[in-house]
Chains A and B, each alone.
Chain A
């Protein structure tokens, strides 16, 4: 009996945000556009709780659970195949977040995944690129993707379509500088304060990127979608284009109204109306620092990102190659620390070749492959600090930097792999290593072993070895390189020391040899 699984899936995605919990139910058919069935939103006070006291109040938790129960009830009406729930800013920062997600699971059966900034960026980028549908090209542009949320502001900078850097700023429309709150939101005061604040933030980040080079601004977020809809009603496209002048005029108009007026006039909830003006001001402050003359507002949210990611899983088609963007972001980090680009690229290439050749030996997935590639790219950025103990410097630089698409735990893995690319082998006395879960420890050892071999192969720093064939036999593995290479003694010697870890981890010694010229 052959049962063909129906390609059609009904999915519910839930986003536990700072001011509201939202849910979309949608139908995903790999052959078609995503079809939206339900769209729910219920306000919560997580932001107010967390930004004041650091934790979600028990009342807030109960309220959240009640909402999620109701949402689940609606989802059941569609017999959904999957409920995917994520939590962002406020919950992420709450000290009792684990307690919260545990209670959610126990009482509603919903597995709440607490999303970190980088993952959020990944989903945002997927959603944005989908909405633009290639109609707005990112090529040859210096692009800023920005979302001023209620609890945080997310920035992604792309150069020529490649992710350069990402940032999560701890300001948002609900999380204003204290002075602004003290000033009781008086429009003119607020305007000045926010501007100063944004400039400060940008000044601080100016080492990483120059905002004045940005010539394309893409704004996400409900407040911008609202503005865009008011300015260009009837727009049926998947994104809006807003002229800078119109944008400023609209903000000026909003600035003159009280939140009560806004709520009444636009049929908005009061809380939402209250945050509208500060949010728009912040967008405006960012826009003013760029060269952009218009703002692109995609009609999507992070929930669409979740759905799209799921759809891509089903269909295999990817508009946004997340892995590539992760590497772009890593390369940008390398440039920042003046890495040897050619060496890094070659080591990465060699490492990946080895990884692929060893598929049966290591049993790791494509994610590990990506982490290995990132590790290889960044293995030597520590020499920027000092040539001594540079593997250690590389390691901490990676830990404190943002790499697009990598969550904290993943960054830690990369940092650890890099830490072991030279010097000591992983040891039970190394706290960093020991603090990893067992499966991750095994992975780190394997990746570090491969990385060491790859580094050894480019020990000369001249990229003499770019390709090889791996011969596996019971006595050991042999890396065969082309006979055109006359002398590989440097690499071979290095491998003898650096390959020890490989020998241990894979229980097989590894050696380097030159192929005999074919006759």
Chain B
């Protein structure tokens, strides 16, 4: 196998991922506004991709031309599909864009008022002379460009920024539905008023994307909610990596020259610009019939209604599967910790938090109640900096110890430690999660959230805090592994061990779920394991540089990706280990930046019941036949279609969670001794359905679906 083919290019793989996101927009089983939302996500993802990733490529790079071609093809498909299908569907749903030529006199007089009173004061036409500088074009801002003349023929072009602070979709009076005009259209109608004394020859639209010096943040790539802030938009000077333009040829030539662009960086937009803004419709109130039914994360009564949460956790570990189950379980834990008289200290990492945040509120309360509170704040969390600074200040003012992490390393792990003084000594409790301490994203990101009072684990987490606060160098941990101090080594060793334990009688099994798989050393380890006969099931939502199913290289590996209403965010790792199964949860993806440049945390789940539950969750994904994409060995993803009974994993998990929650808490007196039951429960066969039938026999993992459905136990 040649070197080139051994790994899939990460930029191309990332574009593939966005193809799959676009696939959700195309999926007609999704409600209209849900599809529009995915259209918007593709746009914002591409913006970031150009700013960050493409900006890092040089024209001499082999991949350079391919990336542009592929990205522009994606943009074309997105644009075409939007115009050809979604616009029509929106029309049918009475969400209508009014074009300038469709306006009647009444509309015009209404709009003229709007233009003069509201919009015009915000407009700053800028003349562009031959010698003027186009660095004034703001990153990601939409501009109108006018070719203008007067008698003296002094000025050739002028640009006007479409104001960001004004709604792009200006509402028009209408009796039903939503009628709107785009602000660029409105400006265009009255443009003459901006250029008195000049004649407008042609009009056009343009948008530039400039290079940014930040690293990609995988947290954002399917998440439409935040995206690019003002700060990013205002970056000037940096070179233009993409020009989206709809204008006359002469205008385009002019821009090309002035911006020093080559043709491959110019995208001729034939549809609407900046669909991310249009997609904000999906977040407006109303239109309920066009949206998916909203999901309310289920409350976990066992935790949330427990006043003495400590005795519960001393009994057993607890697992919360967000967003199927509610983040409130953690908030309750933190609230108890902040008020409990015996709690001495609380330590936690805060990477991204909602604003205003209940987490911050409870931490402040804890300080007021005399607890020692140490918060490790990550300010480098992209796009959130300003927000982070605000509440960090609040915490400092309240008296908490706020630290900004280890120099040059981003703290990506999510952990909370509570130290409590009890009758028989110090007891510690931890909450560890694959997701951020953010109430909002906890409703749309799928994450596993874990509580424990195990001595060895809590002791490790205490030591972990000494490392991330910079108070101590890493010591030997007994349970956890952390990056950049040995996490990669741990994963490599686990993978090697699996390969070593694999034999003809019993092949090893690795099942892993993550956001991205890029790290070459890990991929090589997986290839080796595959060659040693280990069956490897990978559920990688985003970038995957591993090429599965290649004979002699990776024939025992299969890769799937689930793109759906909730962002798949949990990182789960399963190793068969000769029957002594190991399950780990982590904040880290298998990417060099996670292993080398971030503080990441990986911890084992050892509770037998929870292990069973997590294993089932892992395997359920492979059963999905609605939202599952399979990576072929040619590097292409194919949506899995099946004639079998539809199985939609995220919906199934919703159902299970609802069922669990609907069970009333029962008193221990009601529990009657049961006869031992035969294992007649439904089993779910995951048969690696995507590799040839002969292989099917080799890999057959049977999971007990009921492990998830523990409602049955209490019946």
Contacts and interface: CB of A to CB of B under 8 A. Distances in A.
B421 A73 contact: no
Contact of B459 (A29, A37, A77, A269): A37
Given A42-B473, A79-B344, A73 B401 contact: yes
A46 interface: no
Nearest to A36: B459
Nearest to A226: B476
Contact of B485 (A73, A76, A267): A267
A37 B426 contact: yes
B462 A38 contact: yes
Contacts of B401: 73
B374 A39 contact: no
Contacts of A8: 424-425
B472 A41 contact: yes
A60 interface: no
A124 interface: no
A43 interface: yes
A78 B486 CA distance: 28
A77 B463 contact: no
B663 interface: no
Contacts of A74: 466, 471
Given A37-B462, A38-B462, A267-B489, A27 B475 contact: no
A239 interface: no
Interface residues of A, number: 24
A222 to B, nearest CB: 11
Nearest to A20: B473
A27 B425 contact: yes
Contacts of B459: 36-37
Contacts of A79: 344, 421
Interface in A16-73: 27, 29, 35-43, 67, 70-71, 73
B469 interface: yes
Interface of B is mostly: mixed
A78 B471 contact: no
Contacts of A39: 463, 475
A42 B471 contact: yes
B623 interface: no
Contacts of B424: 8
B462 A73 contact: no
A36 B489 CA distance: 27
Nearest to A267: B486
B345 interface: yes
A70 B426 contact: no
Contacts of A37: 426, 459, 462
A36 B462 CA distance: 12
B347 interface: yes
A78 B426 contact: yes
- With most chain B CB atoms within 10 A of its CB, the pick from A27, A40, A67 is A40
A85 to B, nearest CB: 15
Contacts of A36: 459
Interface in B350-407: 372, 374, 401
B419 A70 contact: no
A316 B489 CA distance: 46
A216 B210 CA distance: 72
Contact of A35 (B425, B463, B485): B425
Contact of B473 (A41, A70, A76, A78): A41
A267 B492 CA distance: 14
Given A39-B463, A267-B486, A77 B469 contact: no
B471 A70 contact: yes
Contacts of B372: 73, 76-77
A40 B466 contact: yes
A234 to B, nearest CB: 12
A43 B462 contact: no
Nearest to A76: B372
A76 B471 CA distance: 14
30 contacts: A27-B426, A29-B425, A36-B459, A37-B426, A37-B459, A37-B462, A38-B466, A39-B475, A40-B463, A40-B466, A40-B471, A40-B472, A41-B472, A41-B473, A41-B475, A42-B472, A43-B473, A67-B471, A70-B470, A71-B471, A73-B401, A74-B466, A74-B471, A76-B345, A76-B372, A77-B372, A77-B419, A78-B344, A78-B345, A267-B486
Given A41-B473, A43-B473, 13 more contacts: A8-B424, A27-B425, A39-B463, A42-B471, A42-B473, A70-B469, A70-B470, A76-B372, A77-B374, A78-B426, A79-B344, A79-B421, A269-B473
What are the 7 closest A-B residue pairs judged by CB atoms, nearest first?
A77-B345, A40-B472, A70-B471, A267-B486, A77-B372, A27-B425, A40-B466
